[in-house]
């Protein structure tokens, strides 16, 4: 598998409403941290994120978290 593009070396902290979200795994989306289809033609696919209640999340933008889509601090090692 190819290496993802590092979109940012910090998480995107945001409040999400209940719903289905598509997390960008390739790092090329202009709508970080969500997928905009930029992965087309690569071996990356978006990760489905189901939110059942309103919550604040820290989503990984470096694309190296071991707990994707959530930040685990991996960006500090890049």
pTM reported for the whole predicted model: 0.94
Per-residue pLDDT, 43 = 94
Residue 56 belongs to some domain of the structure:
yes
Q: Which two tokens stand for residue 74?
A: 């991996």
The Cα–Cα gap between 60 and 12 comes to: 7
Return the percentage of the chain with pLDDT > 70, whole number.
99
The answer to whether residue 6 sits within a structural domain is no
What would the pLDDT profile of 8-42 be if each residue is shown by its tens digit? Answer: 999 999 999 999 999 999 999 999 999 999 999 99
Q: Which domain holds residue 56?
A: 12-77
Q: What is the pLDDT of residue 40?
A: 96
**Mean of pLDDT values over 50-73:** 98
User: How many structural domains does the chain have?
Assistant: 1
């Amino acid at each position: 598998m190819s290496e993802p593009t590092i979109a940012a070396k910090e998480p995107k902290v945001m409040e999400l409403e209940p719903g289905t979200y598509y997390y960008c795994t390739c790092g090329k989306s202009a709508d970080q941290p969500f997928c905009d289809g930029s992965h087309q033609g690569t071996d990356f696919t978006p990760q489905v994120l189901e939110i059942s209640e309103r919550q604040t999340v820290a989503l990984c933008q470096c694309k190296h978290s071991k707990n994707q889509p959530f930040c685990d601090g991996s960006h500090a090692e890049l």
